[in-house]
Structure 1
Amino acid sequence: MSRSIEREIRVEAAPEVVYEVVSSPEHLREWWPDDADLDATAGATGTITFRREDETKVVALTVVEADPPRRFSFRWDYDGEVATASNSLLVTFDLIPSDGGTLLRFAETGYDEAAKSDEVYHDHTSGWNYFLPRLTPYVDRLVHRP
């Protein structure tokens, strides 16, 4: 069985807004990494940074697809190599218009192709379970600012 992480989230905002929230550094920092430096253009490279009390982890990423407002995807690799299908994980945000809002379909794949351990898989599952639910309240605050 292939290992992947998949989630669906309903967001009460237009796909154009949600696309910005999942692809631009100033919005990403509000719900996911502590810092982000990337250009949402296919082929562009960048980094995301996670800070914990005892360590800072900077992870390189490569934008695979930037198709506003439908899809944003990137590959990221923890080993400092250029991210390829054989060494990295693919994160995809598909945005589907739905009743005046957006159905966000999230997937992180490539665990088997990149020979990632069960520990990495469980760590990422736990991470996405924490971070993805933060996206909706952030979008709500963004859209409904007084």
Structure 2
Amino acid sequence: MEYGRLEREIQIDASPEIVFEVISSPQHLRQWWPDDAQVEARPGAVGELVFGDRADLDAKVVAITVVDAVFPRLFSFRWVYPEDETATERNSLLVSFELAPDGDGTALRMIETGFRERGWDVAVLEAEYQEHVTGWDHYLPRLGDYVARLVPRR
């Protein structure tokens, strides 16, 4: 198995403009992915995602740095990097959401790369990759479900 690239595609019954807002704005992100989010959709913006209750010691706070925000086609960010470092190609993972019109909806392609570049030993690499596979397989359908609640059926 190749542990360098994770890719998923989903069809969403909403315009790329709506989907872009849902994948890039904190008020929408909180509805389908992290429990809390603070981020601006502009290149270079540094924010955070919070998984769990921020007040709980078990909460996981993850820094993110926006790489690209091209409305309504692309939103990408780096994450999973040491909190005392700036995100780079060698110390972080890159997540890209590519959006394309598809009939009356949007084709969303999510690509996550950078696993091998982290320099993890094989066991850590495999575990991290599998954790992200499981995570995206859980959260991406929630994205589609959330958008379906926002947009009336045509």
Q: 2:66 aligns with which of 56, 63, 67?
A: 63
**TM (normalized to structure 1)?**
0.94
**Alpha-carbon distance between aligned partners in 1 of 2:140 and 2:69, rounded to the nearest angstrom:** 20
Larger mean Cα displacement after TM superposition, 101-110 or 71-80: 71-80
Structure 1 position 92, deviation (Å): 0.3
Larger mean Cα displacement after TM superposition, 108-117 or 5-14: 108-117
Structure 1 residue identity aligned to 2:90: S
**Alpha-carbon distance between aligned partners in 2 of 1:3 and 1:64, rounded to the nearest angstrom:** 19
Q: 1:133 aligns with which of 126, 129, 141?
A: 141
Corresponding pairs, count: 145
Structure 2 match to 1:144: 152
Larger mean Cα displacement after TM superposition, 88-97 or 43-52: 43-52
Identity %: 52
Gaps of 5+ in 2: none
Structure 1 position 54, deviation (Å): 6.7
**Alpha-carbon distance between aligned partners in 1 of 2:146 and 2:95, rounded to the nearest angstrom:** 20
- 4+ residue runs of structure 1 moved beyond 2 angstroms? none
Gaps of 5+ in 1: none
Change (3 A) 1:54 1:123: farther
Q: 2:108 aligns with which of 104, 109, 112?
A: 104
The CA RMSD over aligned residues, in Å, is 1.6
Structure 2 match to 1:75: 78
8 Å Cα contact 2:81-2:93 kept in structure 1: no
Structure 2 residue identity aligned to 1:21: V
